[in-house]
Structure 1
Amino acid sequence: MRLPVIINSSSGGGSTIVTPVVHCRSLAQAVISSTVAGEVLTDCLTRRLENNGQVLVAAAQNWTESYRNYYKRKFASAIKEKLCRFSEAPHHDVESYELPDGRTIEVGAERFQIPEIPFSPSMVQDATVMSTLANAFDDGIVEIDGIENAENIASHAGLTEMVINCINKCEGCHHAELYSNILLTGGPTSEPQLKERLQKDVQ
C-alpha cells in the first residue's frame, strides 16, 4: 500500500490540514494545519476587485451592511471558483463575469494572483490588499477563526512548506513514498493545476 500525504481544505474554506498516513494510520504528531484557506482567498479577491473599482453589489440594493457584505463574499466566492487558476507565467488577461443582477464585471490579474496566496501567504502584504483587509478586520466585516488581523495571514507557512514540514516529521524511510503520493481532498483543492503546482514545488 502506498503511503499518502492527505491535504484537506474544508468545504467551508476555514482551514487547510496536511496529514501523513502510514500503515493506514494518520500520524497525529506530524499533522500541520493553517487557517489560510478558501475564506482568506475569497476575502482577498473581494478586496482586490473593489480596489480595482468593480462593484459586486449595486448601491441601489436597499440592504443592511451585513447583508451586503454577505453577498459580496458570496459573489466573490463564485468568481473565484469559475475564473481563478494557476499559471506558469504572469497573465493579465481580462475575463468577464455576469453577476446575478445582470451587471458584468471585469476580472484581470486577480485570477492568477489569488490562487498563489496559499503558497505565499505573505502576498497579502500587498499595500492595497493589506490596508483594506486591515480595515475589514477592524470593522468586523471579516471574521476568520484563528486569524485576528490581516498581518496574521502573512505570517502563516505556505502550502509547500507545510507539506515539507509534515513529511520531515515522519521517519526518513517513508519520505520518498510520501512525497510521491500527495492526495488533495475538499472543495478548494479542486483548483485546476493545484496538484501539479504542488508536486513541482516539493520535488
Structure 2
Amino acid sequence: DGFCLQNSIARLDIAGRDITRYLIRLLLLRGYVFNQSADFDTVQQIKEKLCYVAHDLDQERQLALDTTVLVESYTLPDGRTIKLSGERFEAPEVLFRPSLLGLDVKGVAEQVFKVINSAPMDDRRKLYKQIVLSGGTTMYPGFGTRLERELEKLYEERILKGQPDKSAKNVICIEAPPRRKNMVFLGGAVYANLVKDT
C-alpha cells in the first residue's frame, strides 16, 4: 500500500563481489591460479556467464561427481582454457548458506520467511503472493525456483507444521521480471521524475 513495514526489514550483506571472491577460492582449490585483484573482473565474467543456483544441491553435487554434464569451458584473456563443474553452482550457494563465507547469518530464503512472518498477520498471505526479485544477484538461472522451493519447505515445516493434507504450493508466488538487474535504478528514476515537479 505504498509504505514500509518497519518491523519487517532484514539485511543479507552478501553481494555479487562476495560470490566472485568465493568463486576465486573454489578455483584456487582446483589448482587454477588467480590474483584476487588483477583477475577479479575475469572471474566476475566467468561467474555471470557460467554460474547458476542449484534447484537440488545434493543432486547437483552428485551429478558433478559422477558425470561431466555440468562441465563448461571458459577461455581466459591470456588464451588459457579452464573448466568449471561444481563451482558453477557452489559459488552462488553462499546466498542460501552464508556460513560458507564464515558468516553467522541466515540465508536468503530464511530471511524472506522471517521478514514476511514478522509482518502483521493480515498482510502475510498477500506478501507470500507478491515476492518480486530485484538486483543483479537474482539473475542467476535457478534463483527464483530455488527460493520458491525453500520458502515452500519452510512454510510447510513451520506454518503448516507438516500437516499431510496441506501444501504451500499455491501460497507462494515469486515474480522474476527480466529487467530486474536494474529495477532499483529504474524505480528510483521513475520516482525522481514524479517528485521533480512537486
Fold in common (TM above 0.5) = yes
1:199 partner amino acid: E
Contact residue 21 and residue 36 of structure 2 kept, 8 A: no
More helix by share: 2
Alignment of 1:46-85 (within 5 A): 46-56=24-34, 68-85=35-52
State the identity as a percent. 35
Contact residue 98 and residue 104 of structure 1 kept, 8 A: yes
Contact residue 24 and residue 36 of structure 2 kept, 8 A: no
1:94 aligns with 2:79: no
Once residues 180 and 43 of structure 1 are traced to their aligned partners in structure 2, the CA distance between those partners, rounded to angstroms, is 34
Q: For structure 2, list consecutive stretches of 5 or more residues without a partner in the other structure.
A: 65-69, 153-198
Per the TM alignment, residue 122 of structure 1 is displaced from its structure 2 partner at its CA by 1.9
Cα displacement string for residues 72-125 of structure 1 (whole angstroms, at most 9, x for unaligned residues): 22111111111111233223222110111211111111111112111111234x
Q: For structure 1, list consecutive stretches of 5 or more residues without a partner in the other structure.
A: 1-22, 57-67, 125-150
After superposing on structure 2, the runs of 4+ consecutive aligned residues of structure 1 that deviate more than 3 Å are: none
1:25 partner amino acid: F
More strand by share: 1
Structure with bigger RCO (C-alpha 8 Å, 6+ apart): 1
Matched residue pairs, number? 142
Hey, what does 1:166 align to over in structure 2? Answer: 115
Cα displacement string for residues 113-139 of structure 1 (whole angstroms, at most 9, x for unaligned residues): 112111111234xxxxxxxxxxxxxxx
2:126 partner amino acid: E
Cα displacement string for residues 127-153 of structure 1 (whole angstroms, at most 9, x for unaligned residues): xxxxxxxxxxxxxxxxxxxxxxxx3x2
* Alignment TM-score, normalising by the size of structure 2: 0.67
Cα displacement string for residues 131-178 of structure 1 (whole angstroms, at most 9, x for unaligned residues): xxxxxxxxxxxxxxxxxxxx3x2x121111100111111101111111
* Bigger Rg over Cα: 2
C-alpha RMSD of the superposition: 1.5
